[in-house]
Amino acid sequence: MTRTHGMRYPGESAQYRQLRDKLLQAELELNAQVQAVAALLRQLPLGGEAKDYVFEEAGDGGAARKVRLTELFASGQDALLLYSYMYGPRMKSPCPMCTSFLDGLAGSAQHIRQRASLAVAAGSPIARILDVARQRGWRNLRLLSSAGSSYNADYHGEDKDGDQQPMMNVFVRRGGKIHHFYGSEALFVPEPDHEPCHLDLMWPLWNVLDLTPEGRGEDWHPSLSYGK
């Protein structure tokens, strides 16, 4: 069924309206598909029980303190989103793509935390991670070091060679136990026509650029700095 409206823009041509209405139907179908995928996700059963991993974070006075996976759940919340940031100990600088993603996530963090707990883990020591956070102005992200823990390896934030990977994992608390619920594993399915898009729905950058005639570009990537 074709759905439309009577709204028009100043000076638009009949050709513009014909093609815009075609695009409108595709947009509506995409919206419906996004909602259908979200409904399927909510139907997932509990995944495997997770270890109570130990991370490090900045404590009072700036000293590092130990924190367990179970402690990352805020009071009254039973869902935790935990992003694996590509900033391992062998990397001179963090991944620009991950950093751009976290720039956006930092802006939404206070809203997300109204309904779910949120944290970011990287394989570097906590001091290195906090240095990046200060440079980026990340004040709303709970930042963790997974160094000394097998978390990144177990939940595919790094591969068997220690190379870092950008994974969003979701954990849930049920009956006093923590279970894995979701991972952005589309990352591991080859898509020959484009780069992995497993985070795109969580990353406003690409959705905004896709509204322009040039789109996101075939070889453009965000940078850590654009100079003055």
* pLDDT tens digits, one per residue of 42-78: 999 999 999 999 999 998 777 899 999 999 999 999 9
Q: What torsion, rounded to 10 degrees, do the Cα atoms 186, 52, 181, 84 define?
A: -30
Percent of the chain with pLDDT over 70: 99
Q: Could you state, in order of their start, the residue ranges of all structural domains in the chain? A: 54-185
**SS3 (DSSP) at 130:** helix
- Would you state the pLDDT for residue 228? 62
Judged against a pLDDT cut of 70, whether residue 156 lies above it is answered with yes
Which range among 50-59, 105-114, 192-201, 202-211 shows the weakest confidence by mean pLDDT?
Answer: 192-201
Averaged over 127-139, what is the pLDDT?
96
- Would you state the pLDDT for residue 227? 78
Averaged over 118-145, what is the pLDDT?
97
145: nearest Cα among 228, 223, 55? 55
pLDDT digits (tens, 9 = 90+) for 4-34: 899 999 999 999 999 999 999 999 999 999 9
CA atoms of 146 and 168, how far apart (whole Å): 14
Mean pLDDT of the chain: 95
pLDDT digits (tens, 9 = 90+) for 160-171: 999 999 999 999
pTM equals 0.93
Does the domain at residues 54-185 carry the CATH identifier 3.40.50.170? no
Give the list of residues 6+ apart from residue 126 with CB closer than 8 angstroms, or none. 56, 57, 58, 64, 143, 144, 145
